[in-house]
Chains A and B, each alone.
Chain A
Amino acid sequence: MIKLEHIFKWYNVGGTKSFILKDINLEIKEGDFVSIMGPSGSGKSTLLNVIGMLDEPDEGNYFFMDEDVLNMKAKKRSQLFQSHIGYVFQSYHLIDELTVYENIETPLIYKNLSSSERKSIVSDLLDRFNIVGKKDLFPAQLSGGQQQVVGIARALAGSPKLLLADEPTGNLNSKQGEEIMELFKQLNEDGVTIIQVTHSEKNAEYGKSILNMLDGQIK
């Protein structure tokens, strides 16, 4: 499903290149569940962003479902990605001016689903994550953990084939974290490919494989 070849990413800091990803080669098959671990600043989020095409690498090749992503027209690329990928962000990134309900609904609107279809999907998710009572609140009115839950619900709304999750449990208590991991496992069994970044050994264990990163390289 995903194939990265010699991926480099750098920033110019004071005239010299500061490498964040160094020669990343990676293949992830459909149905995989990969956990990425590594110290802070090692480039985990950056790698995830490259995979999700929120960031472009400076060098290398990237094939997504056998298509050459980096040489694709921007419009086609975003169509390809946004219809197949769900994102969970380290810092939630909910849309401040939308309610919980609307945040979850948004990807469905862009998929041109009818309002009744949207309604049933969103209600389902609200139920599943036990946040029905919060549906009319705005993100600013939620705790960090609650926002994270909404972020995950939103990522799942579009029934993605690939779920990219950057520390999905970072702000949750261990019980909540466990629930989420169980959910991920369930999803994975249902056929969703998952790549998650985590600091927790325990959570990493839920994955079928673990990638360790250090200084922009996969160990």
Chain B
Amino acid sequence: MNSIKLAYRNIVKNGSYTVINVLGLTLAFTLCLLVFSVLSEEKSYDTSWSKANRIYRINTVELDKGIEGEINQVYANLGLELKNQFPEVEAAAAMFSREIFLNLGTDQTVEVRSIFMQKDAFNILDFKIIEGNPNILVAGKTNIMINREFRDKYFKGENVIGKLIKSSDPLLEESENVGYVIVAVFDEIPYNSTFRTPVITFSEVLNNKLSKNGDGYYQEQYIALKPNTDIAAFSQKANKWYKDFLSDSAVKNFSFRFQPLKEIYMNPVSHSDIYGNEKTTFIFQIIALLVLVISFINFINLYAVRTIKRIKSLNLHKILGASRYSLIKSLLLETIIIFLIAALISIFFYLLALPPLESFLNFKLYFTREIVGSILIYFILTVLLSGLIIGFYPAWIVSNIKSSEALKNKLSKVSNVEVWMKKSLIIFQFSVSLIVIVGLITVKSQLNLIQNTPKGLNTENLLNIKQLYLSNKSSTIKNELLRIPGVEKVSISAWRPNIGSGYLARTVDDKKNVGEKIRVSFIGGDADFTPLLDIKLIAGRNLTEKDYIGHPKPNPKFEGDEFLNALITESTAKRLGLSDLGIPIQGLDIIPVGIVADFHSESFHKPLSPTVILAKDFQEYGNILIKIKDGQENVVGKRITQTMYKHFPDKYFNFEWVDDLIANNYQKELKQAQIFTLSAFLALFISALGVTGLILQSVEQRTKEIGIRKVLGASIASISNLFGKEYVLMIIIAIVIASPIAWILANKWLEDFAFKTEVKLWFFGSAGFIVLIVTLITVNIQTIKAALVNPVDSLRDE
């Protein structure tokens, strides 16, 4: 009781130190709690399935030189075939997400994420059916299961089993839009699953036999293995079996990888729509750790400062009979109290920060909220433990100092080490701030580069109606759209910016590097396509309507051996060793008639892919790209919609601004920029706190000196200088230490980009400048305050 009172009094008496400590620790604790929540949420993905440890996705690993890579699909029915071949496979099913369009009555079409599953999926994942029976298939319609929430939202109070729902899939012909029948209602799939979905569509196994020629179409497939199956051995066996299964003439240039379901969220391979971001999480983690270390450093630094001031009184306690144990106990108690105060405040901040964090991350922390109670209990325990650890060493040292020296309040031997320690800790803090600021500058200048580099195509005011079935009305629609005032150009195409490098791809041998292959992407639009996108013609001629061929079909493939007239990008021409226009290129089955300037068909993360542009008359399927005149963006929307509904009253149209689609590519980086901005502020703030603490101390120690100097006529500025000088030196040392680390990390971060900014010298210069300014301001606030004190007051002390 007595020691609590004492501790309390000390904490209050050293108010400014306490505030600095609590503030720094609170920030660090809050950040750690938040990061821990994100981590545990992400780690929890797909772990709650009863077979979670033995569910795998089958990925294809391409081995061709030049185009190695991994995709999250394999040839249809491979999983089933494996199940037939190997007793280890308990279940196998294709499962993949897609958008479906449900017409829920007049004018209410909803686009929902659904997961298509083969029946065996019930033996892989766990579902709780609360209504109906998914095992009774209704023929002639697509069977769907909806979840409880979806039922309650759209069919409140209705009996939904057997209910028919019309489909408004823009990609389907009216007659093909057969619609859905609800056969069951399931309880929510855990939110922390890549399979979370309101709707599941399913069907029997398709009758596609696995091809012996090593071709076919791709599907995302999962298997569940029997318990205790050695996955490495199984993987080897399965791959060997498949090689033998293929006919001798088949190309065997790929293998399979069995990716554990639990890892998919963080390593999505190809980006499906629910996935985490390892890099962002990692940056988060590092920053939380650094902030924690910095605030611990502050704590230890200030602790040392405060206790040295108190060594005398601690020793008096000893002389009056206190045991060393009781001294340590009371010192620790103070630490613990400060840690606990910080912990309690940070719990408050944490709970406050969860919702904004969720919207920042764009996913819900469901799992975290479920276990928030135990997180907080563990948190408090961890804080207590770290308080004990952090507080013990200094308490141990201080409680052991010899009495006679302590009474004189002089610690000549310790102080050199002490000063050196303190300085290196401050230098460490400065270095962290510098690294984070260089990180921020790097991210920002990369974003600038993305913004300001010409893309080679013009997407300004470009509206797209996402790929849809046009039932041969494309020319009519195009002409009607063109008649709307404000519409400048219209093109119907099989590709739009940002959908990938093309709508299909072909592989040819690389003549310059024997043994390697080049994958060439195909982009196709009507004759207005290149002018609409402002793609620059360098040589030859543009494509015209005369270059259209035959009658295009849905999902156009190459017709026979016909060669198509095509445009080719400059870099592609170079890579293919194109000598002249007009000469057919075998393997690509095209005749280049013009060369266009390179353009970024994808984000800056990807290198320019070899690209060919074809001209086709897309009568049945296509995107409708609409270039709108400047300033007319808000006016034309209604007319365009009217035109579209006139032709397809029941369809769902997906309007998208192409600029938005492109911006979406850099969501991740924009978020990281935000994280960096926040952390730069945090790091600066906390090291400013640290500097404040130390300055307070030196000012306190040197009050008398300041007083005497003032009596002798020193100006306020010269007194400020006295203190500021050593910090400038420390910042310079920090720059020397931090720059190489920052350089390496910045370049590491930039590795994600094929087109990237250089890490320039001024990044470091301005980071140093910012730290310097903040530090000098901090130093001066305190020293000027000290220098303004009337010398009589400070000299009367003691």
Contact = CB atoms under 8 A, between A and B. Distances in A.
Interface stretch (B126-134, B315-323, B663-671, B780-788): B315-323
Given A96-B313, A109-B2, A82 B319 contact: yes
B261 to A, nearest CB: 60
Interface in B298-345: 310, 312-313, 316-323, 326
Contacts of A111: 321
B407 interface: yes
Contact of A93 (B2, B6, B10, B316): B316
A82 B320 contact: yes
Indicate the member of B319, B323, B404 with the most A CB atoms within 10 Å. Answer: B319
B312 A110 contact: no
A95 B403 contact: no
A78 B404 CA distance: 14
Closest 7 CB pairs of A and B: A110-B321, A82-B321, A55-B404, A107-B320, A54-B403, A95-B313, A54-B404
Interface in A59-90: 75, 78, 82-83, 87, 89
A158 B322 CA distance: 13
Nearest to B318: A78
Interface in A99-130: 106-107, 109-111
Interface string B367-378: 000000000000
B326 A110 contact: yes
Contact of A54 (B2, B319, B322): B319
Contacts of B326: 110
A197 B706 CA distance: 36
B321 A107 contact: yes
Which of B320, B321, B403: most chain A CB closer than 10 A?
Answer: B320
B553 interface: no
Contacts of A107: 320-321
Nearest to A112: B321
A78 B325 CA distance: 13
A70 to B, nearest CB: 15
Contacts of A93: 312, 316, 407
Interface residues of B, number: 20
Given A49-B404, A55-B404, A154 B313 contact: no
16 contacts: A49-B404, A54-B404, A78-B323, A82-B319, A82-B321, A87-B319, A95-B313, A97-B6, A97-B310, A98-B6, A106-B317, A109-B2, A110-B317, A110-B321, A110-B326, A111-B321
Contact of B323 (A89, A98, A110): A110
Given A49-B404, A55-B403, A110 B313 contact: no
Contacts of A158: 320-321
Contacts of A110: 317, 320-323, 326
Nearest to B406: A54
A185 B316 CA distance: 26
B404 A106 contact: no
Given A94-B316, A110-B323, 13 more contacts: A49-B404, A54-B404, A54-B407, A55-B404, A75-B323, A87-B319, A93-B312, A93-B407, A96-B313, A97-B10, A106-B317, A109-B2, A154-B320
Interface string B151-168: 000000000000000000
A100 B93 CA distance: 82
B557 interface: no
A49 B408 CA distance: 13
Q: Chain B: interface secondary structure?
A: helix
A148 to B, nearest CB: 15
A89 B406 CA distance: 14
B346 to A, nearest CB: 28
Interface in A154-193: 154, 158
Chain A interface residue number, banded = 20 to 34
B479 to A, nearest CB: 90
A46 B263 CA distance: 72
A175 to B, nearest CB: 27
B9 interface: yes
Interface in B130-156: none
B13 interface: yes
Interface in B377-417: 403-404, 407
A96 B407 CA distance: 13
A41 to B, nearest CB: 15
Contacts of A55: 403-404
Nearest to A109: B2
B460 to A, nearest CB: 70
A97 B9 contact: yes
Nearest to B404: A55
A158 B319 CA distance: 12
A98 B326 CA distance: 17
A83 B10 CA distance: 27
A26 to B, nearest CB: 19
A95 B321 contact: no
A62 B9 CA distance: 40
A145 to B, nearest CB: 17
Contacts of B13: 97
A89 B316 CA distance: 11
A106 B313 CA distance: 12
Nearest to A53: B403
Contacts of B319: 54, 82, 87
Contacts of B407: 54, 89, 93
Nearest to B321: A110
Nearest to B407: A93
Given A55-B404, A110-B321, A95 B2 contact: no
A211 to B, nearest CB: 21
A87 B403 CA distance: 13
Interface string A17-47: 0000000000000000000000000000000
B317 A95 contact: yes
A96 B322 CA distance: 16
A110 to B, nearest CB: 3
Contacts of A82: 319-321
A158 B320 CA distance: 9
Nearest to B310: A97
Of B310, B313, B321, B407, chain A has the most CB atoms within 10 Å of the CB of B321
Nearest to A83: B321
A103 B322 CA distance: 13
Nearest to B405: A55
Interface string B1-20: 01000100110010000000
Nearest to B320: A107
A163 to B, nearest CB: 14
A97 B320 CA distance: 15
A75 B322 CA distance: 11
Nearest to B797: A140
A111 B323 CA distance: 10
Contacts of B322: 106, 110
Nearest to A96: B313
Nearest to A49: B404
Contacts of B404: 49, 54-55
Contacts of A75: 323
A211 B462 CA distance: 105
